[in-house]
Structure 1
């Protein structure tokens, strides 16, 4: 069990796929070690996202908050970096690997026969009536599919299609379990399934998709 990803998640993909350099693929991103301040920054940003969509202060407070956020933007903007250079999504020890794109998740299983992770949505992800926005769940499932492919040791792949069935309302502020596995594989194709369940085991949503290994030159 880990706060982020297994320590072997960031291994050079060439160890898994000897033909990596012959078919486009993603750039090789090494794990980053930005220091403890980055973890604090992510936690504060997640809380700020929640507050940005759930508070109703006076106009003066909004003005003051805007000044502070704009100042922070000015502090960080000189350090813009290319993809794979900044630490976001490259810190396996942090929840969600250090990315704000997804809610924080924690990996419990990362094996060739499947993956399992805990995820907690918050106010920022609400679509209405305290339920997680339906459009957020495909994003979660697509991330699970990528983990499944990596854990199974398959070559670098992209999502060809992803289908979601919504079975029950997905709650916020509740630790949920997402699991994923390869249903079958044929050549370049891997048909992947995933589920999201609440603490009582109730199925909230399920997904199936197709992951296809990249051909030479495909980005």
Structure 2
């Protein structure tokens, strides 16, 4: 059994004195180009290459020598990054709101087309990393996208809230490698409850729909 060292702990830094809190997740300041999201920004270039790397990891069937070398290189970079671990509040991953997908690789990069306090539209492209089988996006990656966009819409310029439930309905196959349209809107707000809906489309075909309830946090709630 593999023995993990403290430097392997993915929660490293969460126990820092400064709590994470909730940054304003709105879309107002997000400026991104689907064709060149990286530009000259070192972090943007890194995370863009990381997304592409994960797609190639999913697609490749390397030999043992390549795998051994890759594992060695990744371990070296893991240990190098361990020295730079910071608190949740200070981390860059998922906190770069000027980049597609907030500069993270957990979910596909959502690129904003138009945004307001009640609705946001944009595009997304699922890479090979999100393949479920036979050219289709993995079913679990679709509600992940909706939760990401829903959360940013309902929490932008509002008191933070958390997902209470999310339902996704699959209407057609969502293809890997195609640019898809995303349309999300706030249906209504009832006290602390925020209801939101969304649609994912490939051309004129609706591939998935979703609805969710977010509940506003009370003061002091994590």
If the TM-score is normalised by the length of the shorter chain, which range does it land in?
0.7 to 0.9
User: Larger RCO: Structure 1 or Structure 2 (Cα < 8 Å, ≥ 6 residues apart)?
Assistant: 1
Q: Match for residue 8 of structure 2?
A: none
Of the three residues 79, 91, 96, the one matched with 2:84 is 79
For residue 179 of structure 1, the aligned residue among 165, 180, 183 is: 183
Which stretches in structure 2 are left out of the alignment for 5+ residues?
1-19, 26-39
Deviation string 1:86-140 (CA, Å, 9 cap, x unpaired) is: 1112222222121111112211121123111211100000111121100011111
Is residue 202 from structure 1 mapped to residue 208 from structure 2 by the alignment? no
The whole-number CA distance in structure 1 between the counterparts of 2:100 and 2:193 is 30
Q: Of residues 15, 18, 40 in structure 1, which corresponds to 2:45?
A: 40
Indicate conservation of the 8 Å contact 1:180/1:193, yes or no: yes
Q: 1:190-217 CA deviation, whole Å, 9 max, x = no partner?
A: 111011011x221010001111111232
Kindly provide the CA deviation profile for residues 28-81 of structure 1, in whole angstroms up to 9, marking residues without a partner as x. 5489xxx82211111111111111111112211111111111111121111111
Residue correspondence of structure 1 range 132-143 to structure 2 within 5 A: 132-143=137-148
Contact 1:117 / 1:178 at 8 angstroms: preserved in 2? yes
Q: Quick one: distance in 2 between partners of 1:119 and 1:72?
A: 29
Structure 2 Cα separation of the partners of residues 145 and 110 of structure 1: 12
User: Paired residue for 1:145?
Assistant: 150
**TM-score normalized with structure 2 length:** 0.80
Would you identify which runs of 4 or more consecutive aligned residues in structure 1 move more than 3 Å?
28-31
Matched-pair contact (CA < 8 Å) for 2:165–2:213: yes
If the length of structure 1 is used for normalisation, what is the TM-score?
A: 0.81
Q: How many residues align?
A: 190
SS at match of 1:144: helix
> What is aligned with 2:21?
27
Alpha-carbon distance in 2 for matches of 1:193, 1:162? 10
Distance 1:29 1:57 in 2: 41
Matches within 5 A, 1:1-20: none
Q: Which runs of 5+ in 1 are unaligned?
A: 1-25
Contact 1:144 1:179 in 2 (8 A): no
Aligned to 1:61: 66
